[in-house]
Copies of this chain bind each other. A is one copy, B any other.
Amino acid sequence: MNIDLKEYITEKRAKIDQFIIEYFQPFIIPQVLHDSVLYSLTAGGKRIRPLLCIASYEACNGKEDIIPYAVAIEFIHTYSLIHDDLPAMDNDDLRRGKPTNHKVFGEGIAILAGDGLLTEAFRILSNPLYAKIKADTLLRVIYEISMAAGLRGMVAGQAYDLISEGREPNREIVEFIHLHKTAAMIRASVKTGALLAEASEDKINRLESYGEAIGLAFQIVDDILDIESTTEVMGKPQGSDIQKGKMTYPRVYGIEKSRQKAKELIDKALERLSIFDEKAEPLRQIAFYIFKRTS
């Protein structure tokens, strides 16, 4: 199948955006909370995680409209960015070229917006009315996502990221951070698609390790872009990881070896897709896109 990734992404993104807008009608009260949540949800995110979830679902022959469940993952991603930008965490003023949530709405509301988005994700995932999905499948999805996002997943990665600032580069710690902070939720996004499609355990496992590989590659490329890109393209200050003494891949391995590692991970991810037919084409192209992205 010759798919146009750009067209594929544009079409899915429109549906994702539409669901987000509709989900917040009627308005949340108080209004400042509503505005804060919508501000970050519509701040120009690439929607990589929900796109991966949908592409994985389609690669496994899924036929239902699973946009709501995919959007739940974007809610969790968005919450993690809002909290990550807080002064007590990364203390970032800019995200995707715009002031961060707490800069606009204050820290208290930003914390609550994040808390609320995380919680709403599970409200969406536990609503069986969105598509014909079995209850025990949805339970398994909730389990996977909460494990990937929780105290032994993304939160652990963020905590290590926080306490490692300014420390000597260390291979074990940078691996731990990348695996937990970024790869865990990307892996869970891909796995969710496979679970929702009731794929075979073999396919679920393959997609899971595809997801982990591109998740790690994504973070390594992110680390490289922090050094090589510009503030304009990135939408956040160039070199901010270095300035904060972040435990990044290039700091531990150097730029060339980091790029090579990312390439290996993409190759590994593509290998895992080998048994899939042309319906996995978007997943293959997303892997390339992650390696080649510039922002």
Interface flags, A82-96, vs B, CB<8A=1, else 0: 010011110000000
Main SS of the interface on chain A? helix
- A17 at interface, CB cutoff 8 A: no
Closest B-chain residue to A160, C-beta based? B30
Closest B-chain residue to A128, C-beta based? B139
- A267 at interface, CB cutoff 8 A: no
Q: How large is the interface on A (under 10, 10 to 19, 20 to 34, 35 or more residues)?
A: 35 or more
Tell me if B114 and A88 are in contact (CB < 8 A). Answer: no
How many monomers of this protein are in the complex? Answer: 2
Chain A contacts to B: CB under 8 angstroms: 28-30, 32-33, 37, 79, 83, 86-89, 106-112, 114-120, 122-123, 125-128, 134-136, 138-140, 142-143, 146-147, 149-153, 155-156, 158-160, 162-163, 176
Q: Give min CB distance, A150 to chain B, whole Å.
A: 4
Question: Could you say which residues of chain B place their CB within 8 Å of the CB of A89?
Answer: 108, 111
Question: Could you say which residues of chain B place their CB within 8 Å of the CB of A111?
Answer: 83, 86, 88-89, 111
Tell me if B32 and A163 are in contact (CB < 8 A). Answer: yes
Tell me if B143 and A126 are in contact (CB < 8 A). Answer: yes
Tell me if B136 and A119 are in contact (CB < 8 A). Answer: no
Tell me if B128 and A136 are in contact (CB < 8 A). Answer: yes
Tell me if B116 and A33 are in contact (CB < 8 A). Answer: no
Tell me if A88 and B106 are in contact (CB < 8 A). Answer: yes
- With the chains together, A30 CA to B177 CA distance in Å? 11
